[in-house]
Amino acid sequence: MASVHAIPSLEQEYEFTGESKRRLLIGIGAGVALVAIGAFLLASGVGEHSHEVVQGQGHSTGHEGEHGYKWTTRLWANLWLNGVYFTGISVIGMFFISYNYLAQAGWSSVFKRIPEAMPAFLPVTAVVILVTFFVAGHDLFHWTHEGLYDPKSEDYDPIIAGKHGFLNTPFYIGRLIFYFVAWYGLWRLLRNFSLREDLEGGTEYYDKSIKFGVVFLVVFAVTSSTSAWDFVMSIDSHWFSTMFGWYTLASWHVAGLAVMTLTVVTLRERGYLQAVNENHLHDLGKFMFAFSIFWTYVWFAQFMLIYYANLPEETIYYRERFSGYGGIYKAPFFITLFLNFVFPFLVLMTRDAKRVTNILKIACWGIIVGHYFDFYTNIMPGTVGEHGGFGPIEFGMILIFACGFMWSMSAQLAKANLYPKNHPMIEEAIHHDI
């Protein structure tokens, strides 16, 4: 019933206040301090096991390379982990706008500026990821070692040598640059269309956005998979899974939706975005619910085939996480499953839960934390192995990235009217009722 909702004005500017900036700076500062403390503790060897932890498998998969382990690896691994996670969340903003344009969806246009603000963080993660690769590529990625590909070398590894056509440094760096340029460039295009639509109106920019949104979806269909291989799967160079692209996309997608929903709810509580009613929140809740189950489906499809077939070269991946390295990854492994499936499944199941902002917020936080642990479980065993853990470095790095992401998003939101006021579907979106 459209008449039930009072229609608020569509003219609203988001103000990125000095107070918020100060808080975010304090957050970043605290993060840097935590990372420094963690790094100092690691460098001085506190908390490091004096003896080698007996590995569950009893054999090394050679992840640590021939140089031995350096404590800085954990620092770089954390940079990489957060870089990958926040790259995903950022690009999902673009993904969301694009498929909503393609579906000509009306309801989402009222809060469209929120996903639209997310990809602005991509340049930062691009720099983080490229710098990390240049500096610490050898520590994180076993496949970057030249000896693996030389049949005369004692390190020669025929399996990895067989992947040399794809996993070689020039092609790899080229791909990374292509991802970020393509994703960010197409987002800039759509963002500019949207801003000009605000000024000029009409359907011209809407039609153009559909067209370039489709271009992005075609690009992302391929690059979401290949980037998942590059960012995450290539760490465990021997292992591969044909589900991995979908699996990472599902993880990114639901985490991005949770960030989006959390932002919408928070802005609403602060008096912004009053045109977003509980029907929009209900739909966002359904999105999170559905894609949590989708993530579980892909997770399980990958797990069960490997479990059933029981091939040693495949099961090693789960062995490392389940019982390898002294069992330190068993907790994150199950936290992932609980927070990403059981928790949202039970919390978001009923209709009322999706319409009550407090429950929605709890579910969002569960999903955001859960998918961090998803990437943690995927990245850490292959990079730091038995030297992993969860300490000040991990907390600090999350804080830095989260505050940086919020800063970039708030700055973007402040640059434009909070509603795309000339969007052709905005009227429909305001009257959204389910």
Q: Among 240, 300, 322, 345, which residue interacts with other proteins (rule: CB under 8 A)? A: 300
Residue with tokens 């720099």: 127
Q: How far is the CB of 296 from other proteins (least distance, A)?
A: 10
On whether the CB atoms of residues 350 and 302 are closer than 8 A, the answer is no
Stretch of residues binding other proteins (CB under 8 A), selected from 203-211, 263-271, 304-312, 329-337: 304-312
Contacting residue, 150, 204, 269, 433, with other proteins by CB under 8 A: 433
Site size for other proteins (CB under 8 A): 12
| Complex with other proteins: residue 379 or 425, whichever CB lies closer | 425
Alpha-carbon distances of 17 from 23, 351, 409, 413, rounded to whole Å:
10, 35, 13, 12
Q: How far apart are CA 212 and CA 267, in angstroms?
A: 29
Please give the structure tokens belonging to residue 199. 């000024």
350 binds other proteins (CB under 8 A): yes
Four-CA torsion 159, 132, 186, 194, nearest 10 degrees? 140
- Our finding on whether 303 is near other proteins (CB under 8 A) is yes
Binds other proteins (CB under 8 A): choice among 304, 313, 346, 358: 304
Among 177, 351, 358, 390, binds other proteins (CB under 8 A): 351
Output the smallest distance, CB 315 to other proteins, in A: 11
Residues 147-166 close enough to bind other proteins by CB under 8 A: none
Least CB distance to other proteins at residue 328 (A)? 23
What's the distance, Cα to Cα, between the start and end of the chain in Å?
9
Q: What is the Cα Rg of the chain in Å?
A: 22
Which C-beta is closer to other proteins: that of 63 or that of 431?
Answer: 431
CA–CA gap between residue 201 and residue 351 (Å, rounded): 36
Q: Which of 134, 156, 307, 390 touches other proteins (CB under 8 A)?
A: 307
Site stretch for other proteins (CB under 8 A), options 7-15, 92-100, 305-313, 402-410? 305-313
* Contacts with 343 (C-beta within 8 Å, 6 or more apart), sequence order: 363, 366, 367, 370
Distance from C-alpha of 71 to C-alpha of 69, rounded to nearest angstrom: 7
Nearer to other proteins, 215 or 301 (CB): 301
* Cα(210)–Cα(101) distance, integer angstroms: 5
For other proteins, the binding residues (CB under 8 A) are 1, 300, 303-304, 307-310, 350-351, 433-434
